[in-house]
Amino acid sequence: MKAMALPRTMAAAAVVGLCMLLGQGVPHASIVGSDHDFSAKGWSGGRICIVCHTPHSADTSVADAPLWNHDVTQATFITYSSPTLDATVGQPSSVSKLCLSCHDGTVAVDSYGGNTGTQYVSGSKKVGTNLSNDHPISFTYDSALAAADGELLDPAADGDGNPQTVGDGTPYLPLFAGKLECATCHDVHNTAIQNNPSLLIRPAAGSQICLTCHVK
């Protein structure tokens, strides 16, 4: 006997219900409500994205910054060094320089769209220009570094041999032009973990974020 087809409205309702059921217990994180949501600030005009990005008249001279709209730091930084460090650390580059364009404390958060702002990060949010006591950034993370260190996971490379990601587990941590940058560990748009004040890509609990790269 031929099975009776459900009416279209009932079928649609069944699909929606199934999706809602499957989605239960899977919290969705986003920039909305995170520390990078400035929509409640009087100087943002109730907008979130405009502080960093703009659809028109963007600064296209800034590398690795789609439709960039924020002033970029001109500071010179004291970088991390250690006798046990096998990597060569340079001045912050790529997306790290964009992060520091608020977090080094030399550029106001509301310095965007050509305006000179007055709101600066402070307290634990301020990294400053002395990065000598912070995790090194802007260094090439490749197979040679992993081999020299002996306790780092070898990053995965794409077809041209340029490392793209590193990690043991999901999600893998991204590299930028083969380098480890701030955004390797911190998700500026807060899409990875809900209730995540440090905007980490993987949890800090049990040192999961550390053990994504380090073999201990």
Half-sphere exposure (Cβ direction) of 72: Cα atoms closer than 13 Å: 18
Using 70 as the pLDDT threshold, list the residues of the chain that sit under it: 1-28, 158-162, 168-169
Distance CA 167, CA 162 (A): 15
Strand duo 163-166 + 173-174: pairing: antiparallel
- Say whether the peptide bond before residue 171 is cis (omega within 30 degrees of 0): yes
DSSP-derived secondary structure letter, 140: E
Q: What is the pLDDT of residue 63?
A: 82
Residues 6+ apart with CB under 8 A from 110: 41, 43, 44, 51, 117, 118, 119
Strands (E), the chain: 139-140, 156-157, 163-166, 173-174, 179-180
Pinpoint the alpha helices (H) of the chain: 8-23, 94-103, 143-149, 182-185, 208-211
Q: What is the pLDDT of residue 12?
A: 38
Q: What is the pLDDT of residue 160?
A: 62
Q: pTM for the complete prediction?
A: 0.82
Q: What is the pLDDT of residue 15?
A: 33
